[in-house]
Chains A and B, each alone.
Chain A
Amino acid sequence: MSTYDDDRLLELLSSALSQADPVPEYVTEAARQSFTWRTIDAELAELVYDSAGQEMVGVRGAEATRQVTFRAPGIEIEVMVMSDGVRRLVGQLVPPQQATVELRCGGSVRDSATDRLGRFTFTDVGTGPAQITVETADGAKVVTDWVLV
């Protein structure tokens, strides 16, 4: 048997790993299905802050609230995911304004609206990738980056 140099050893490992730890079909299928969530004609609000981001070194402890901020030109969407008791998602539009709000999470879609101060709440929020769509009074549509909550 010939000697296994580094490249051949890596090839061998690669072949073994691809057989022993294949991508589960349900994972690939979910990836294909992701495309059905595509939003058209919406401005993307990018994630600009996440208290669970690894670059934000926080105090380790029983902190049950996660803060996330998304930003698109002219609007910010501030969101808190609270896990004390009932899991809920509380948001604030900046600048404050009235808008309809849609939450996509765990395969379901829920509609809500902000109050006059731009605040909104969703209760009993599941876990999984989540996305918020905001449609402002002047008809502008903003969609956030997906975030795993």
Chain B
Amino acid sequence: MTDPFVCLEYSTMNDAPVAELLAGAADGDQAAWNALVEKYSRLVWYVVRGFRLDDAAAADVTQTVWLKLVEHCGRIRDPERLAGWLAVTTRNEALRVLKQQDKQTPSDFAFEISDPTATDMDERLVDDEIERAALRAFSRLSEDDQRLLRLLCVDPPLDYATISEIIGRPVGSLGPTRQRALERLRKFMTAELGEDPGGLV
């Protein structure tokens, strides 16, 4: 993408409505497609990171999701639901991979599988001390808590119906579950920051 004309077109397309981008992509417009990728790549990545996949598997799942969208972009009836479609498709693909890995990994070796939730973040990239503490606290949370909080951090945001579908819990329980997960995060952060919690509690 070094062609300046393409880049220009691409930057103006980022603000276009999703319906327009989907229609453009369905029509073969690479710039519209790139704008969709730009807008939603974080969302797909956050969802895939909520599952215990190594980098290669996470990349494969991500690419499968985008390839599926290539085929489906002219068929998505409600463009406003694209975020939900991407998130749920990502979840389904991630679960398939996990199930395949379950089958192919003798249980004796299960302990050798690394825990990517503990290693996939590079704290050194974060300048702010409080944010670094937030990351350390986050890595101490359970997998369920981490997955929920990641889904709540997704941009553009996911609605509760989609989050509930992904984590398999009723919509009504999300509010209280969110509150408890954040409470645990706050507690660990306070511990990370020592005696002065900086008004965290």
Structural contact, A66 and B100, CB atoms closer than 8 A? yes
A34 touches B41 (CB 8 A): no
Contact A32 B33, beta carbon cutoff 8 Å: yes
CB-CB contacts of A50-93 with B at 8 A, as 1s and 0s? Answer: 10111000001111101000000000000000010000000000
Would B64 and A38 count as touching, CB distance under 8 A? no
Q: Tell me the bound Cα distance from A37 to B44 in angstroms.
A: 19
Q: Is B140 an interface residue (CB 8 A)?
A: no
Most buried by A among B34, B37, B149, B199: B37
A-side interface residues, number (CB < 8 Å): 53
Q: Among B63, B120, B178, B182, which residue has its beta carbon within 8 angstroms of that of A34?
A: B63
- Name the B residues within 8 Å of A35 (CB-CB): 25, 30, 33-34, 70
Give the docked Cα–Cα distance between A129 and B71 (Å): 13
Query: Please, how many angstroms separate the alpha-carbon atoms of A31 and B95 in the complex?
Result: 20
A128-B42 contact, Cβ under 8 Å, with A12-B134, A13-B185, A20-B125:
no
Q: In the complex, which residues of chain A have a beta carbon less than 8 angstroms from the beta carbon of B186?
A: 4, 9
**A137 interface contact, C-beta 8 A:** no
CB-defined contacts of A38 to chain B, threshold 8 Å:
28, 70-71
Question: Which residues of chain B come closer than 8 Å to A1, judged between CB atoms?
Answer: 198-199
B93–A26 touching, CB < 8 Å: no
Q: Do A30 and B96 touch across chains, with their CB atoms under 8 A apart?
A: no
* A10 near B153: Cβ-Cβ < 8 Å: yes
Which residues of chain B are near A18, meaning CB under 8 Å?
42, 153
A-B contact count (CB 8 A): 155
- The residue of chain B having its C-beta at the shortest distance from the C-beta of A127 within the complex is B60
Considering the chains assembled together, what is the distance between the CA atoms of A17 and B152 in angstroms?
12
Partner of A17 from B69, B75, B96, B153 at Cβ < 8 Å: B153
B153 cross-chain contacts in A, Cβ below 8 A = 10, 13-14, 17-18
For this complex, into which size category does the number of interface residues on chain B fall?
35 or more
Distance between Cα atoms of A14 and B63 in the complex (Å): 23
Of the candidates B66, B67, B96, B200, which one forms a contact with A52 in the assembled complex, judged by CB atoms under 8 Å apart? B96
User: Which residues of B in the span 51-72 have a Cβ within 8 Å of any Cβ on A?
Assistant: 55, 58-64, 66-72
**Is B103 at the interface (CB under 8 A from chain A)?**
yes
- Residues of B that sit less than 8 Å from A by CB: 1, 25, 28, 30, 33-34, 37, 41-42, 44-46, 49, 55, 58-64, 66-72, 75, 92-93, 95-97, 99-100, 102-104, 106, 120-123, 125-128, 130-132, 134-135, 138, 149-150, 152-153, 155, 178-179, 182, 185-186, 198-200
Would you give 27 A-B contacts (Cβ < 8 Å), ordered by A? A3-B200, A9-B200, A12-B130, A12-B131, A13-B153, A16-B126, A16-B128, A16-B135, A16-B138, A17-B121, A19-B125, A19-B131, A20-B121, A27-B62, A28-B37, A32-B34, A32-B37, A34-B69, A34-B70, A37-B67, A44-B75, A52-B99, A54-B95, A54-B96, A64-B103, A129-B64, A148-B60
Q: Which 9 A-B pairs have the closest CB atoms?
A: A16-B131, A14-B153, A146-B67, A20-B121, A54-B95, A34-B66, A31-B66, A129-B64, A35-B33
